[in-house]
Amino acid sequence: MSPQPLCPLCSLPAEVSSIGSPDETLRVSCIRCGKFQAKWRIKRDNLPDGWAPYLSAATRQATDEKKDLGTITCDNWRQIATPHQERTVSAKIAMILEFYAKKCAVPGRGFSIAPAHDYPLFDCVDEAEYNQYLRYLVDRKLLEQNGNALHPTIEGFQEVEPRVRAGGEPDRCFVAMWFDDDLDQAWERGIEPAVRDCGFKPYR
Ligand SMILES: [Zn+2]
């Protein structure tokens, strides 16, 4: 019996099949890295030190978002991984909080993930990094833990909700333009109806 194939990016047991000319391109389905297609040279050991987790983040997030990355090659892997490698700590923390806010939808519902398999969702390099951010969010009382399940607190939800209405009225659209008769037509036929169509009350 042939040994259980391993994911080329994270070395967990995975479903791996080859397509095209023998072993040229691998099609991988990994519980951690998601589903992706890569040239056989794209392997953890062949990538520069520390980069494989960011490629895992790219493939896993693309899988969950149903986005097709195409085939990962020696020419494009860095471009695919870079946005994940460049993600700041603050941005990762925000991603985690937004993730739970989306999954829980309303305060009080919990959602649990498997950190050992799911840390690439937040551009983390390993489970330990994810746990650090989690602890921070719980300490700051933005997330609450209940067994394995987590949910944002009210403060957590407020943190991710878009900051609206810094003064002003919610449904008004203020249009600043020249007071000139020549522009009346543009206002009456163009801007005014267009703003109204978008559901706002236009004010010139
Ligand atoms: Zn993997």
- Does position 138 have pLDDT exceeding 60, yes or no? yes
**CA of residue 15 to ligand 1 center, whole Å:** 10
**CA of residue 96 to ligand 1 center, whole Å:** 20
**CA of residue 89 to ligand 1 center, whole Å:** 23
**CA of residue 8 to ligand 1 center, whole Å:** 7
**CA of residue 52 to ligand 1 center, whole Å:** 9
Query: β-pairing, 25-30 with 201-203?
Result: unpaired
**CA of residue 101 to ligand 1 center, whole Å:** 26
Q: What is the DSSP string of the chain?
A: -PPPPB-TTT-SB-EEEEESSTTSEEEEEETTTEEEEEETT--GGGSPTT-HHHHHHHHHHHHHTT----EE-TTTHHHHHHHHHT--HHHHHHHHHHHHHHHH-STT--B---HHHHGGGGT-SSHHHHHHHHHHHHHTTSEEEETTEEEE-HHHHHHHS----SSS-TTEEE------GGGHHIIIIIIHHHHHHTT-EEE-
Mean pLDDT of 117-141: 98
**CA of residue 166 to ligand 1 center, whole Å:** 44
The answer to pTM > 0.85 is: no
- pLDDT value, residue 143: 96
- Does position 167 have pLDDT exceeding 60, yes or no? no
pLDDT digits (tens, 9 = 90+) for 59-79: 999 999 999 999 999 999 999
Lowest pLDDT segment from 57-66, 141-150, 162-171, 192-201: 162-171
- Does position 164 have pLDDT exceeding 60, yes or no? no
- Does position 23 have pLDDT exceeding 70, yes or no? no
The domain made up of 89-160 is a member of CATH 1.10.1200.10 = no
**CA of residue 84 to ligand 1 center, whole Å:** 16
- Does position 109 have pLDDT exceeding 70, yes or no? yes
**CA of residue 14 to ligand 1 center, whole Å:** 7
Mean pLDDT, the chain, integer: 90
**CA of residue 146 to ligand 1 center, whole Å:** 28
**Whole-number percent of the chain with pLDDT over 70:** 93
pLDDT digits (tens, 9 = 90+) for 81-107: 999 999 999 999 999 999 999 999 888
**CA of residue 1 to ligand 1 center, whole Å:** 22
**CA of residue 139 to ligand 1 center, whole Å:** 31
Which tokens sit at 12?
């967990």
- pLDDT value, residue 1: 58
- pLDDT value, residue 64: 96
- pLDDT value, residue 31: 98
**CA of residue 19 to ligand 1 center, whole Å:** 18
- pLDDT value, residue 129: 98
Instruction: Look at 100 and 192; give whichever has higher pLDDT.
Output: 100
Q: What are the domain boundaries of the chain? A: 15-85, 89-160, 172-203
- Does position 152 have pLDDT exceeding 80, yes or no? yes
- pLDDT value, residue 169: 58
